[in-house]
A and B are shown apart, each in its own frame.
Chain A
Amino acid sequence: MHPPEQRRPQPWPIRLTHWANVPLLAILAASGLQILVAYPRMGPRGRPFALYPFQDAMPPAWLRLGDWLAGARSWHFAFGWFLALNGVVYVLYLALSGEWRRRLFLPRRDARDAVATLAYYLRLRPAPVQTGLYNGLQRLAYTATLVMGALSVLSGLAIYKPVQLHWLMTLFGGYDPARFIHLLLLALFALFTVGHVVLVALHPRTFGEMITGGRKPDV
C-alpha cells in the first residue's frame, strides 16, 4: 500500500462515490420534500412542535419529486438503499485505503488548524494555513457530513419502522423528534452543499481534481 503522500489527491473510489452522491442526494431530498407536503408540520397531530418554525409551510413544487405521496415514498425507499450503500462503500474505502488519515478530522491534529482557518475566512487572519490535502476546517466539514449521513439513515429508519425499531426511535427522543431531526439533517446538508459549491467555485483546481483525480505530488 502506498503511503498517503504518494497518492493522487482524489483516487477513483473517492471520485465515484462523491459524484454518485449528487443524483442520489437530490432524489432523496426532493422525494423527502414531497413526502413532507402530505403533512407539512412537525409534532403530534394537532400540536405543533416547538422547535419547528415552518408549520404548514409547503416546499415549492420545483423542489419536489414523485408527483404524490405514494410516488414520493417509492422513490425515497428505492433510492435510500443506494445512498446508504454509497456511504458504506465510501467509509469502507476510507478505512481500508488509509485515506481516512488525510480526510477525517482528528481533534488533536486538526482542531487548532480548523480554528485558524475559520479566523482566516472571517478576515481575522491574513494568510491561509496549508496542511497537506485539506485544512482542519475542511476535515471537520467532511467528517461532519459522514456523521450527518449516518444520522439521516438512522433517523429515517426510526420513522419508517417506529414499532419494529422502537429502540432506535427512543434514541432520537420519540417519533416526532426523529422526524424533526430527519428534516433538520436535510437542511444541514443543503447548507453544506451551498458552502461546498461556493468554495469550489473559489478554488476551481479542486473541481478538476475531483473529475480527473489530479496529479500525484512530486516526490
Chain B
Amino acid sequence: MSERILTRRRVLLGAAALATSACDSQRPREGFLGVMDRFNQRAQTALFHPARLAPEEPVEQLTPPRDFPHYFISDTVPLAPAGWRLEVGGLVARPRAFSLEELRQLPRTDFRIRHHCVEGWSAVASWHGVRVSDLARAVGADPRAGFVEFRSFDQGYYSSWDAPSALHPQTVLAYGMNGAPLIPGHGAPLRLYSGVKLGYKMVKYLTTVRFLPEATGGTWEDRGYEWFAGV
C-alpha cells in the first residue's frame, strides 16, 4: 500500500506556509501580494485618463494653513543650498539647469484642488508653477522616455512616475502655494504637485528631473508603498 502524499495535515500546513510566505506585510511587493500589486497597477493604469482633471475646489474649501502638514524626512526643515538650480536631464535634446527665475519665465499654471494623502486625510490648497509637460517641451524630452524621475535635497527623497501622469495638465513643478511663494515647510524653492497622485509621489525640495526609459523606485515605494499610487 502506497503512502498517501496529500494528507489533510500536509495540505493545511502547506496552505499555512504559503499564506505566510506569499503574503508578507513587510515586503508587500513580493509573493502573492506582489502579484496582486502588479495586477492592481495595470488596473490603475487602465483607469487613468490623461485628460481627466481633478475638480477645482471653491475657495471656501481651502484648508487652514496650520492644518496642512509640513512633511520632510530630514530632522529639520531642509533648506535650499546656495546657488540652487534644477537639473533637467535624461532622454532630452537640451539638458540644462534652471534657476527659479528661469522657471518663472516658462508658462504658469494655477489650480486649487484636493490633496489626497495615502493615510486617508485630504486637504485643499491652491498651487502655481510650471507644468512638467511645459518643461518637457522646453528641454525637448524624447517621447521614448516613458518615465520621469524626481529627486530632492531632502536626504535624497525621490520618486519615479509614469510619463502620462507626469505630463498630465495638473502636474506642475510648484514654486507657489495659496498665492504666495512656497515656504520651506512645503518644499521651497520647488516641489512637485499633482492632482492625479497620492501625496508621497509629490517630491518636495526638487533638485533633479530626469526623463528615463525605465521606471526607478522611490523613497516610500522601495519600502513597500505602491509605485503607481494614482487617485
Contact = CB atoms under 8 A, between A and B. Distances in A.
Interface of A: 35-36, 38-39, 41, 44-47, 65-75, 77-79, 81, 159, 161-166, 175-176, 179
Interface string B120-156: 1111100000000000000000000000000000000
B59 to A, nearest CB: 15
Contacts of B71: none
Contacts of A70: 25, 28, 220, 223-226
Closest 10 CB pairs of A and B: A46-B67, A71-B25, A74-B28, A78-B36, A70-B224, A38-B119, A67-B25, A45-B123, A39-B119, A39-B120
19 contacts: A36-B120, A41-B121, A44-B123, A45-B122, A46-B64, A46-B67, A66-B25, A70-B220, A74-B33, A74-B224, A77-B37, A79-B36, A81-B36, A81-B39, A159-B120, A164-B48, A164-B231, A166-B52, A166-B54
A53 to B, nearest CB: 18
Contacts of B68: 45
Size bin of chain B's contact surface: 35 or more
A75 B20 CA distance: 12
Nearest to A66: B25
The dominant DSSP class at the B interface is loop
Contact of A72 (B25, B116, B123): B25
Interface of B: 23-26, 28-29, 32-33, 36-37, 39-40, 44, 47-49, 52-55, 63-64, 66-69, 114, 116-124, 195-196, 220, 223-226, 230-231
A164 B114 contact: no
Given A45-B68, A68-B25, A77-B40, 15 more contacts: A39-B117, A44-B123, A66-B28, A69-B118, A70-B225, A70-B226, A74-B33, A74-B36, A77-B37, A159-B120, A163-B54, A163-B230, A163-B231, A164-B49, A164-B231
A118 B52 CA distance: 49
A175 B63 contact: no
Central interface residue in A41, A74, A162, by most chain B CB within 10 Å: A74
Central interface residue in A35, A36, A77, by most chain B CB within 10 Å: A77
Contacts of B225: 69-70, 73
Contacts of B124: 44
Contacts of B40: 77-78
Nearest to B220: A70
